[in-house]
């Protein structure tokens, strides 16, 4: 390896020591882990995110090792990193893959009590029914969801809880009704927006 002769012999020795340290570092990494890094980078499109990974080998190695032999794409990796940063740093790639599969099938998934991932503009009626069933048994939510006049009217007419739930769902968007604290995660290749929401329930 040739070193620029413009540097003094002492500086050249420092440079060679650093170069050798880097060579030793990469030589001592298990070949399987290096393979994971190569596979991870091969599925990433050229762009800012890939450049970030190429700038920090330790971060990329950690991510590649976590992904391992799971079949993932750029979309899953970006959702995974978002969830680790904003929701749960201990979430596993296997959990994330299951969540995404359920969102694809059902439109949403509850990853924890009161926390969901969903597709923007998806029909969340079933989720609303489930949540309202519990919420209308709690006085503080009843006060929040229904004004005094509505309560009196429902009581006088003997309106059932199911009827109240139907009226609530038909009268307002679910996101507003359940007072979602929503955050945008990412848009998939079909232009569908993945959202993260916390629901007080």
Summarised one tens digit per residue, pLDDT across range 24-45 is 777 777 788 888 888 888 877 7
The DSSP code sequence of the chain is ----TTS-HHHHHHHHHHHHHHHHHHHTS-HHHHHHHHHHHHHSPSSHHHHHHHH-HHHHHHHHHHHTT----HHHHHHHHHHHHHT-TT--HHHHHHHHHHHHHHSEEEEETTEEEEETT---HHHHHHHHHHHTTSHHHHHHHS-HHHHHHHHHHT--HHHHHHHHHHHS-HHHHTT-EEEEEEE-TTSPEEEEEE---
Is residue 179's pLDDT more than 90?
no
pLDDT at residue 58, rounded to an integer:
84
Summarised one tens digit per residue, pLDDT across range 110-169 is 998 889 999 998 888 888 888 888 777 777 777 677 766 666 666 666 667 777 777 777
């Amino acid at each position: 390896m040739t070193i620029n002769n413009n540097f003094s012999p002492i500086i050249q020795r420092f440079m060679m020591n650093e170069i050798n340290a880097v060579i030793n570092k990469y030589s001592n990494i298990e070949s399987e882990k290096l393979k994971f890094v190569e596979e991870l980078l091969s599925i990433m499109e050229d762009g800012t995110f890939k450049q970030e990974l190429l700038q920090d080998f330790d971060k990329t190695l950690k991510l590649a090792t976590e992904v391992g032999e799971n079949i993932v794409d750029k979309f899953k990796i970006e959702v995974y990193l978002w969830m680790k940063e904003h929701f749960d740093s201990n979430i596993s790639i296997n959990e994330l893959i299951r969540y995404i599969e359920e969102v694809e099938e059902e439109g949403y998934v509850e990853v924890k009590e009161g926390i969901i991932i969903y597709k923007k503009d998806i029909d969340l009626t079933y989720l609303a029914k489930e949540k309202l069933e519990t919420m209308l048994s709690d006085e503080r939510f009843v006060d929040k969801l229904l004004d005094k006049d509505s309560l009196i009217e429902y009581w006088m007419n003997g309106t059932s809880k199911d009827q109240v739930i139907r009226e609530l769902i038909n009268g307002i968007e679910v996101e507003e009704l359940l007072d979602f604290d929503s955050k945008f995660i990412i848009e998939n290749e079909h232009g569908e927006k993945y959202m993260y929401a916390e629901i007080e329930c």
